[in-house]
Structure 1
Amino acid sequence: MTDDERLARVALARIVEPGDEVGGRWLRQYGARKTLQRLTTEGEPLPWVTPKRWEALRARAAHIRPKRDLEEAAAAGVRFLVPGDGEWPGQLDDLGDGRPVGLWVRGTANVRMWALRSVAVVGARACTEYGAHMAAALGAGLAERGWVVVSGGAYGVDGAAHRGVLGVGGATVAVLACGVDRPYPRGHVQLIGRIAEQGLVVGELPPGEHPTPSRFILRNRVIAALTRGTVVVEAAHRSGALVTARAAQRLGRFTMGVPGPATSALSAGVHDLLRGEAVLVSDAAEVVELVGDMGELAPDRRGPVLPRDLLEPGARQVLAALPGRGAAPPDEIARGAGTTVDDAVGRLYELRALGYVERHGDGWKLTRQAMISVSPDRRSG
């Protein structure tokens, strides 16, 4: 991309709102320099906009200072990326005409390389202790497995996920809905500063720009596109995190949800996702199994191995045939176990040696050790 085209994109980043698909069509059809020229000179309006919208864009164009924007960005340690740069994350191209005009980046890591192995963790701002714990655990677990965690730098789940990553020395990216030189929210200035030092802070808006409700919503499409999949940890029915998840689904990315109490309004949105195409996950290993490479499997989930699980099948059958209370003769035990009396007697002596049964006259009964290891139903029966 030529210097003129790059400088034109810097200017357009201040004129066109994030996600403006009409602006994206202009860029695709006319290029950045010609689009800017039409916006800054008298003449016929560009297509696909109303006269009112055209005048509003022209008013913004009258106040652009692209060279000054680049100078202020450089002074703040911020660089500007455009499509075609070696560091440009190609996943953003999946947004089509809604693709960012460019990306403002704080931090030294390579955005493209980090995006190739990244997962978004998003959720409620006013999260519960459970939500904060799960977000931090997911962030730390993903980082320890070599994954980059992307979130929005907000209060609640976002902040917990970022802190979980930072706590284990991992890689994290905050995608902001404002200029990356003026972090928002104010209470996260230190956190976002740490992210810039240890990871990356990125955004579509030029230096000094402030967030608005619509910019928060549109920012979420970048989080979804930048990553292989999105995990939602706590989200009410009306939640920006659900916007991110639905954007991920439209883009063909994996969508995952962490379940919560069925009575919690903060988990209601997640549960709706899980009733659809989202996949339930409970830890980082399950996330990686879904978004990772072949063979990156989560461990099998099993209950504890009990001593009786180690018995031979025939011995387990005989043990199961003994009554919960009192003694039984060998022939009754053999019938219950579906075997011969001789086989049952042999198994009973094996079980006695292991401490499971004891002989009482002509009958056999469970020992106290065996009674503890059997189910409550048998102990009562």
Structure 2
Amino acid sequence: MSDERTARATLTAVAEPGDAFLNRIVDHSGPERALESIRTGRLPDDVPADMKEIKRLENWRIRLIAAEPDQDMAVCAQFRGRLICPGDPEWPTTLDDLGSARPYALWLRGPGDLRFSCLRSVAVVGSRAASPYGMRAAADFASDLADAGWTVISGGALGIDAAAHRGALAADGPTVAVLANGVDIPYPAANEGLFAEIARRSLLVSESPPGTHPHRLRFLVRNRVIAALSRGTVVVEAEARSGALNTASWASKLGRMVMAVPGPITSRSSVGCHRLLREDGATLITRTDEIIEAVGRLGADLAPPRHSPVLPRDRLEPVTRAVLEAFPARGAAGPAQLAVNAGVDLTTINAKLGLLAAAGFVERASSGWRLTQAGKSPKGPADGDSHPPTTLHQEPE
């Protein structure tokens, strides 16, 4: 391993992810000199620092004593993992949009190529305490996105994250889990099987070396990576205070699309989504086509327009439909009354009544003709067939 890679691997062990002060040193002098500054406590020339930053430098020097980058790499190799650094072929250049919050390096586990996977990718995030509605929506969106050739990125948490990962895997598509702990640590433990499957088929990603356990701050910090790797973020469910909203905030800062799924107005799990839609200009999402339209190629990935439901009576040719509409909602009517109501002659009425009866819309009664239940219902014929006989809409006017 080169000195630069060793230095970056060490930095991931001694500093919190995405520290702006450390990235300032790295950008100024490179990772090796940044590591030397931590060892000696002396900053490179022209790198300003306040007292809080000097204190962090001292903390990093203490952590440096326990850092073992060679051992971390050896452990990583045991599960066929790898370290990628800025400038590597697999490094996604979208991470550079984070500027002073960019990762020093990333630890990966799995056969997927991170840069390639992120070329067409969408983050699907949301509440850990998700409702059945949210879980279903997340899984369906992820499955449909995978079918359309998009990578699903999420955080591996319980609830919406796990549902999104599972939806993509169910469609045999790629999914990337960005973790707040080492890629060899299954957290939460309930998702251990899910992480094993992602590692076997796709990709686990972390800014921390193997063996690192999570803590609260790192869950928020890793959200910036989820936002940066993807073209847009879909928030399926989120409470008023939510890590998913933090991811959406990062996506907005980075100029990515922010999308939200509406939910019941009585649901706490949708309060955050509704706030995004009402106050922050998020794009409302109700189907996968709308996600792809928002993040896809301009003019090439447009969502097809929604159409009103086509009812069986809509398929009738105009005169036949006029006769059907002439029937009273209750009771029966004779041919003469129907002819007046529809504005047609008796010969036409008698011909159309036979067609409507054959299709199940009307039936004979003791005092004339009446609508059947199928004729009254917007669902059409009682057998559920939404396509009445073709003679009805091929009959000449």
TM over 0.5, yes or no?
yes
Q: Say whether the 8 Å CA contact 1:322–1:333 is kept in structure 2.
A: no
Q: Say whether the 8 Å CA contact 1:103–1:203 is kept in structure 2.
A: yes
Q: CA shift at 1:280, angstroms?
A: 2.2
SS of equivalent to 1:354: helix
Match of 2:73 in 1: 70
Q: How does 1:224-239 map to 2 (within 5 A)?
A: 224-239=227-242
SS of equivalent to 2:6: helix
SS of equivalent to 2:214: coil
Figure out how many residues of one structure are paired with residues of the other and give that number. Answer: 367
Q: CA shift at 1:229, angstroms?
A: 1.4
Seen in structure 2, the aligned counterparts of structure 1 residues 312 and 244 have a Cα distance that, compared at 3 Å, is same
Seen in structure 2, the aligned counterparts of structure 1 residues 198 and 349 have a Cα distance that, compared at 3 Å, is same
The amino acid that maps onto 1:38 is S
Q: Say whether the 8 Å CA contact 2:335–2:346 is kept in structure 1.
A: no
CA distance in 1: counterparts of 2:212 and 2:81, whole angstroms: 14
Structure 1 position 287 matched with structure 2 position 303: no
Q: Say whether the 8 Å CA contact 1:323–1:365 is kept in structure 2.
A: no
Q: How does 1:126-137 map to 2 (within 5 A)?
A: 126-137=129-140
The amino acid that maps onto 1:301 is R
Q: Return 166-175 or 214-223, whichever deviates more.
A: 166-175
Q: Say whether the 8 Å CA contact 2:329–2:371 is kept in structure 1.
A: no
Q: Say whether the 8 Å CA contact 2:124–2:138 is kept in structure 1.
A: yes
In structure 2, the gaps of 5 or more residues are 380-397
The superposition leaves residues 208-230 of structure 1 with CA deviations (integer Å, 9 ceiling, x where unpaired) of 22211110001011011101111
Q: Say whether the 8 Å CA contact 1:127–1:234 is kept in structure 2.
A: yes
CA distance in 1: counterparts of 2:136 and 2:371, whole angstroms: 44
Q: CA shift at 1:331, angstroms?
A: 10
CA distance in 1: counterparts of 2:194 and 2:210, whole angstroms: 19
Match of 1:116 in 2: 119
The superposition leaves residues 173-202 of structure 1 with CA deviations (integer Å, 9 ceiling, x where unpaired) of 111001112231122222211110010000
Q: Return 68-77 or 319-328, whichever deviates more.
A: 319-328
SS of equivalent to 1:104: strand
Q: CA shift at 1:303, angstroms?
A: 4.5
CA distance in 2: counterparts of 1:157 and 1:92, whole angstroms: 24
TM-score using structure 1 length:
0.85
Match of 1:9 in 2: 8
Match of 1:186 in 2: 189
CA distance in 2: counterparts of 1:19 and 1:42, whole angstroms: 20
Match of 1:40 in 2: 39
CA distance in 2: counterparts of 1:129 and 1:209, whole angstroms: 32
CA distance in 2: counterparts of 1:374 and 1:345, whole angstroms: 27
Q: How does 1:193-342 map to 2 (within 5 A)?
A: 193-275=196-278, 276-293=280-297, 294-313=299-318, 316=321, 320=325, 323-324=328-329, 327=333
Match of 2:17 in 1: 18
Structure 1 position 56 matched with structure 2 position 59: yes
CA distance in 1: counterparts of 2:291 and 2:333, whole angstroms: 51
The amino acid that maps onto 2:250 is A
The superposition leaves residues 15-74 of structure 1 with CA deviations (integer Å, 9 ceiling, x where unpaired) of 221121222222212211121112212535752342323322232234333223222222
Seen in structure 2, the aligned counterparts of structure 1 residues 254 and 333 have a Cα distance that, compared at 3 Å, is farther
Q: Say whether the 8 Å CA contact 1:40–1:62 is kept in structure 2.
A: no
Q: Return 88-97 or 18-27, whichever deviates more.
A: 18-27
Match of 1:354 in 2: 355
The amino acid that maps onto 1:26 is I
CA distance in 1: counterparts of 2:311 and 2:75, whole angstroms: 66
Seen in structure 2, the aligned counterparts of structure 1 residues 190 and 324 have a Cα distance that, compared at 3 Å, is closer
TM-score using structure 2 length:
0.82
Q: CA shift at 1:115, angstroms?
A: 0.6
Q: CA shift at 1:86, angstroms?
A: 0.5
Match of 2:376 in 1: 372
CA distance in 1: counterparts of 2:95 and 2:175, whole angstroms: 18
In structure 1, the gaps of 5 or more residues are 376-381
SS of equivalent to 1:230: strand
CA distance in 2: counterparts of 1:357 and 1:348, whole angstroms: 13
Seen in structure 2, the aligned counterparts of structure 1 residues 365 and 97 have a Cα distance that, compared at 3 Å, is same
Q: Which stretches of structure 1, 4 residues or longer, exceed 6 Å deviation after superposition? A: 328-334, 344-347, 356-360
Q: Percent identity?
A: 48
Q: Say whether the 8 Å CA contact 1:327–1:365 is kept in structure 2.
A: yes
The superposition leaves residues 304-357 of structure 1 with CA deviations (integer Å, 9 ceiling, x where unpaired) of 4222212344654565466545659989977x87xxx5x676864564343268
Match of 1:379 in 2: none
